[in-house]
């Protein structure tokens, strides 16, 4: 009898654990409608896409998600979390949508599903205004800051540590052996403050966040595009993400995005959150 009870207990526990994982598809459209809330995870140190203004998270991604919540007929709930935890939270169903200026990459697309791209970006390098760093190649031997888990982090960490090819052979990185170092921060703003006092020589982040950090620096910083020595560029596209296979929610997202792109709303949001409502 005891044995049977413990088997039942274990079975019950397993069901609860599985249920609390939110199932395979994360938060479905039905789940969202039932709860009345669209839970969006972001990292709010990334103006103009998401930043804190008057104690509230606002920005381009939030404006987009407001429209998605409106389309579904539920309330938008935005949570500010560490950037490198967003994809996992979407997968496990803690949040329905990840909206954080997330670059669509093949590796990330193995973990989550991405919407259509809603804007493009490039990598930018921020330095002090009197710095003699004027190109990507000049980062050799330098102290470089990035936001943890971002494309900037991957680019700079690979350049410093090297990578592996398909056969497992080491491929030297551009800055390997030059003494260059990479330090990771919770967001690019927290990295940029370390340019003061020369704790860092450069910060690498996405274009618009870099330009706003420079605009807010009272002339202390400047920035320029990351161009590889062979002239190639770092073109990236942003997408919203949902759990793999969450197709009904994705259809709503893409419908709203198509409309916002076609009516020029995304461009309007970018201008508005870069010039009118801006992070301090
Ligand atoms: N686009 C870059 C990436 O996906 C950086 C995104 C950082 N976003 C943020 N909200 N902090 O890796």
Q: What is the pLDDT of residues 177-216, one digit of tens each?
A: 999 999 999 999 999 999 998 999 999 999 999 999 999 9
Structure pTM? 0.90
Per-residue pLDDT, 22: 44
**Cβ distance 38 to 97 under 8 Å?**
yes
Per-residue pLDDT, 21: 47
Using the predicted structure, report yes or no on whether residue 5 has a pLDDT greater than 70: no
The C-alpha atoms of residue 237 and residue 49 are separated, in whole angstroms, by 13
- For the beta carbon of residue 117, count every other beta carbon within 10 angstroms: 15
Distance from Cα 248 to the centre of ligand 1, integer Å: 25
Using the predicted structure, report yes or no on whether residue 16 has a pLDDT greater than 50: no
- Tell me, rounded to whole angstroms, the distance of Cα 239 from its chain centroid: 9
The C-alpha atoms of residue 213 and residue 37 are separated, in whole angstroms, by 33
Of 80, 147, 186, 237, which is best to mutate to test ligand 1, by the most ligand atoms within 8 angstroms of its C-beta? 147
- For the beta carbon of residue 241, count every other beta carbon within 10 angstroms: 28
Q: pLDDT for 68-107, tens place per residue?
A: 999 999 999 999 999 999 999 999 999 999 999 999 999 9
Distance from Cα 188 to the centre of ligand 1, integer Å: 9
């Amino acid at each position: 009898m005891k044995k049977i009870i413990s088997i039942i207990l274990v079975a019950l526990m397993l069901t609860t654990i599985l249920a609390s994982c939110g199932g395979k598809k994360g938060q479905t459209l039905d789940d969202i409608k039932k709860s009345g809330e669209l839970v969006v995870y972001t990292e709010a140190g990334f103006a103009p896409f998401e930043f804190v203004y008057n104690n509230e998270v606002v920005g381009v991604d939030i404006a987009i998600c407001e429209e998605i919540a409106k389309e579904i007929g539920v309330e938008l709930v935005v949570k500010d979390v560490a950037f490198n935890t967003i994809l996992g939270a979407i997968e496990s169903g803690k949040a329905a949508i990840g909206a954080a200026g997330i670059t669509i990459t093949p590796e990330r697309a193995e973990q989550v599903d991405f919407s259509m791209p809603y804007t493009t970006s490039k990598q930018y390098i921020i330095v002090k205004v009197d710095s003699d760093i004027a190109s990507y190649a000049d980062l050799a031997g330098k102290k470089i800051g990035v936001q943890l888990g971002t494309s900037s982090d991957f680019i700079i960490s690979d350049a410093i540590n090297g990578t592996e090819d398909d056969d497992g052979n080491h491929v030297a990185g551009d800055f390997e052996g030059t003494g260059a170092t990479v330090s990771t921060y919770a967001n690019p703003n927290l990295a940029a403050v370390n340019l003061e006092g020369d704790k860092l020589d450069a910060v690498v982040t996405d274009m618009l966040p870099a330009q706003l950090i420079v605009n807010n620096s009272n002339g202390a910083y400047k920035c320029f595009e990351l161009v590889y020595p062979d002239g190639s560029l770092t073109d990236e596209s942003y997408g919203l993400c949902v759990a793999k296979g969450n197709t009904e929610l994705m259809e709503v997202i893409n419908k709203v995005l198509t409309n916002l792109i076609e009516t020029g709303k995304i461009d309007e949001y970018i201008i508005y959150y870069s010039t009118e409502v801006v992070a301090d």
